[in-house]
Every structure is written in structure tokens, then in C-alpha cells.
Amino acid sequence: MTNLVLFLVLAVVAVVTALGMLLSRNAVYAALFLVLNFATVAVFYILLEAPFIAMTQVTVYAGAIMVLFLFVIMLLGAERLPGTEPLPWQRPLAIFLALVLAVEAGYLLFARRAAGGMFASAAPDFGSPQAIGTMLFNRYLLPFEVTSVLLLVAMVGAIVLTKKEKGGRE
Amino acid sequence: MVPVTYYVALSAVLFVIGVLGVLLRRNALIIFMSVELMLNSANLVFVAFARLFEGLAGQVFVFFVMTVAAAEVAVGLALIVAIFRSKRSVDVDQMSSLKG
């Protein structure tokens, strides 16, 4: 029962912060709403007995990624841009398409019963950092190493893309 | 306990809000944040089903998704900074020419 109340309150917070991100005119407010949303999702991860993923969520998403976002927003001074005139049919069409997607998801969930079932009580070390680490370094060692190469490529790419060109054009 | 359907429904709502953000907003930074929101809602379903089926593979996959998202954000924001240098704008309507 407490779990259900906790879930409902957090779900409302998550949806409201997502809508706040969608609707706020100022990009800094949008980023801060998104930080709150990520923090809420981290609490969901703890409820789902994934403490390691929850901590990763806070450090990587709410920490690193959103700080990068805020840094770029403030670097560009892009927090309050004059909006261009929207295409006349863009807004209704976007809302219609999103509604179609929502109805489709609702149909699959509730009419077809595509996903169901209750959670059984989990093993005591389920989702612990130790269990995740053992799995990561045994069964998923190759993807893990590929990830490190990916991060290196992304780092080099970001530096090359933002480097000031020296000497004239190009 | 909360049924897994609730988590899937919440994740679907968050995903639809993310789609709406990509379709409605024209600030490239907000579009990026909406993409992050969609990735996050997919992660939530992964963790919920990992809990349901008591397998850790779902959580490991979320870990990889987060890594890829971090790399994607680094490159994407670098691209936005590079575009801002030449166009003085992050409005996606302005990014209509292939030549820089």
C-alpha cells in the first residue's frame, strides 16, 4: 500500500516535470525540470531494487549530462531565444501524431494485456553493485570494452568539432 | 506491490511527452533534452522488466544505454556549438542548408 502511494506521488511528479520541460520557454528552466525528472526516475529504480542503476542515473544523467547541457545553454546564451514563426500546421499535426502514439500504447497495454504480472520478492543481492559488476565483467565484457572505445571516439569527436580552425577559412 | 503495468504506462506517458517535445519545440537544445527523456523512459521499462523476470541483463543494458546517451550528448552538444558559431542560432528552422 505504501509502495502504491509512493509510486503514484512520484509518477505525478515525473509527469509534471516532463510537461514543465516541454512547456517552459526558458531553456535553463527546462534543464532544471529535467534534472528533477531524472532524480524521480532514480527513486523509481530504487523502488525496483536497482540501487546501482539508481546511483548511475544520479551521477551520469542528473550530474554529468545535465551539467553539460546547462554549460552549453549558458555558453551560447541560448536560454531565451526569440522564437521564429511556427509553420501553421505543425502544432496540430504534432499533437495529433502524439495522440496516435499514446492511444496505440494504451491499446497495447490495457486492451491486449501485452504486459502483466506482479513482482515476486527478489533475492537479497538482486541488483547490488557486486552482482552487476560480476555480470558486466564476465558475460558482457566485450560490450563493456566496445563502450570504452565509443566514449573515446565521442571525446575526440567533441574536441574536433568545437576546435577553433587556425589560419583563414575552413 | 505495484503491478508492472503501472510502470510501463508511466514510461509510455513520459515517452509520448518526449515525442511531443521533439515535434513541437524548435530549440535544438530542448529537442535534445526530449530525446534524453525518451531514452530515460525506455530505461525505466528495462529496469521494471528486469525486476519482473529477476534477470540482471536488463539492468546491465540500462548501464550501456546510459553510456551511449552520454557519448551522444557530448557529440550532439559539440555539433550544436559548432552550428551556433556559424548561424548564431540554435533554432532548427535555421539549419536548412548543408553548407556551413
Contacting residues for A150 by C-beta, under 8 A, at least 6 apart: B67, B68, B71
Identify whether residues A66 and A136 lie together within a single domain: no
How high is the pLDDT of residue A46? 92
Cβ distance of B40 and A45 shorter than 8 Å:
no
Q: How many structural domains is chain A composed of?
A: 2
Of the candidates A20, A55, A80, which is a domain's last residue? A80
Which three-class secondary structure state does DSSP give residue A10? Answer: helix
Query: What pTM, to 2 d.p., does this model score?
Result: 0.89
CA atoms within 13 A on the CB side of B12: 20
| Contact residues, chain B, for A109 at CB < 8 Å | 5, 8-9, 12
C-alpha pair distances (Å), B83 with each of A57, A59, B80, B98: 29, 28, 5, 11
For the stretch B52-88, pLDDT in tens is 888 888 999 999 999 999 999 999 999 999 888 887 8
| Contact residues, chain A, for B3 at CB < 8 Å | 116-118
How high is the pLDDT of residue A170? 45
For the stretch A132-156, pLDDT in tens is 999 999 999 999 999 999 999 999 9
State the complex-level ipTM.
0.91
Q: Does residue A170 lie in a domain region?
A: no
The boundaries of the domain holding residue A75 are 1-80
Q: Does residue A96 lie in a domain region?
A: no
Neighbouring C-beta atoms of residue A117, cutoff 10 Å:
11
Q: Does residue A31 lie in a domain region?
A: yes
Q: Is B98 exposed, middle or buried (0-12, 13-18, 19+ CB in 10 A)?
A: exposed
pLDDT above 80 for A81: no
Spatial distance between the Cα atoms of B61 and A139, rounded to a whole number of angstroms: 12
Q: What is the CATH number of the domain that holds A62?
A: 1.20.120.1200
Q: Does residue A97 lie in a domain region?
A: no
- Domain B4-91 fold is Helix Hairpins (1.10.287)
Q: How far is B71 from chain A (nearest CA, A)?
A: 5
C-alpha pair distances (Å), A80 with each of A27, A57, A77, A159: 7, 28, 8, 26
Of the candidates A23, A45, A80, which is a domain's last residue? A80
